[in-house]
Amino acid sequence: MGKKTMISMAVVRRLPKYYRYLGELLRNDVERISSKELSERIGFTASQIRQDLNNFGDFGQQGYGYNVRALYEEIGKILGLNKHYNTVIVGAGNIGQAVANYTNFERLGFHLLAIFDRNPKLIGISIRDKVIQDVDNLEEFLKSNHVDIGIICVPKEQAQKIADIFVRCGIKAIWNFAPTDLNVPDDVIVENVHLSESLLTLSYRLNEAELFKEKIGR
């Protein structure tokens, strides 16, 4: 009996962490693991682990636990890692170059097809065998190449314009590093990486105790 209900984002965001921990267990030749043991390592409750996994199927076995390799592979499939994705990066500045050079993504099945920038000083330079192309060629490129994921690494002022091109060319998933929110149709998925929001969260937490000490004093 299949469940058609969409999975909550809270669950989805834990999946990559399961995958990472199971990969480590696998590399350490651990064959089986109970939700209780995994709980102690990963820091979620055993109950939550069982609930999470049961969203996708019955991967465990009573009295035994979970087979590490089988579960690792199942979660890999759930995450879509049995597939291959073509990506392009737009913006070859610091972050664009960092993402381009992160070879681990290639290993996971994310294949970088091309990099674009509008800066003449960068156009023509190679990053990992990819010549940086003029962003004016982006739309044409997307029309003649199938791209699954568009990666935006341009300044925030240009981000929406690039997103519009992506949408127009049928890209359904955008990985956005620009510090802004993108407007896209409902069928296009945007995953944001907002570094400065992460840093501000850190500075908030660093000051939190103090913040409320002052309040109490009032």
Partner DNA sequence: TAGATTGTTAATCGATTAACAATC
Name the token pair of 180.
Answer: 């802004």
Closest to DNA by CB, 33 or 178: 33
Range in contact with DNA (rule: CB under 7 A) among 21-29, 38-46, 154-162, 196-204: 38-46
SS3 content of the chain, % helix, strand, coil (to 5): 45, 20, 35
Judged on CB neighbours under 10 Å (0-12, 13-18, 19+), 5 is exposed
Q: Give the contacts of 55 (CB within 8 A, at least 6 positions apart).
A: 3, 7, 11
Judged on CB neighbours under 10 Å (0-12, 13-18, 19+), 147 is buried
Is 35 a binder of DNA (CB under 7 A)? yes
Range in contact with DNA (rule: CB under 7 A) among 19-27, 34-42, 130-138, 179-187: 34-42
Write the interaction track for DNA spanning residues 4-23; mark x where CB under 7 A is met and - where it is not. ----xxxx------------
Give the residue, chosen from 63, 120, 185, 217, that forms a contact with its own copies under the rule CB under 8 A.
Answer: 217
Can you tell me which residue has the tokens 């409320």?
212
Name the token pair of 15.
Answer: 């999946």
Is 62 a binder of DNA (CB under 7 A)? yes
Task: Give the nearest distance from C-beta 79 to DNA in angstroms.
Answer: 18
Give the residue, chosen from 59, 67, 109, 125, that forms a contact with DNA under the rule CB under 7 A.
Answer: 59
Which of its own copies, DNA, none does residue 194 bind (CB under 5 to 8 Å by kind)? its own copies
Ranges within 138-177 binding DNA (CB under 7 A): none
Give the residue, chosen from 23, 26, 30, 34, that forms a contact with DNA under the rule CB under 7 A.
Answer: 34
Which of DNA, its own copies, none does residue 102 bind (CB under 5 to 8 Å by kind)? its own copies
Q: Per DSSP, what are the bridge partners of residue 32?
A: 67
Size of the site for its own copies (CB under 8 A): 64
Is 58 a binder of DNA (CB under 7 A)? yes
Give the residue, chosen from 24, 30, 44, 127, that forms a contact with DNA under the rule CB under 7 A.
Answer: 44
Q: Residue 121 in contact with residue 92, Cβ under 8 Å?
A: no
- What single DSSP character describes residue 143? H
For residue 63, which amino acid is it? Answer: G
The CB density around residue 22, as the number of other CB atoms within 10 Å, is: 24
Binding site for DNA (CB under 7 A): 8-11, 34-36, 44-48, 50-51, 53-54, 58-66
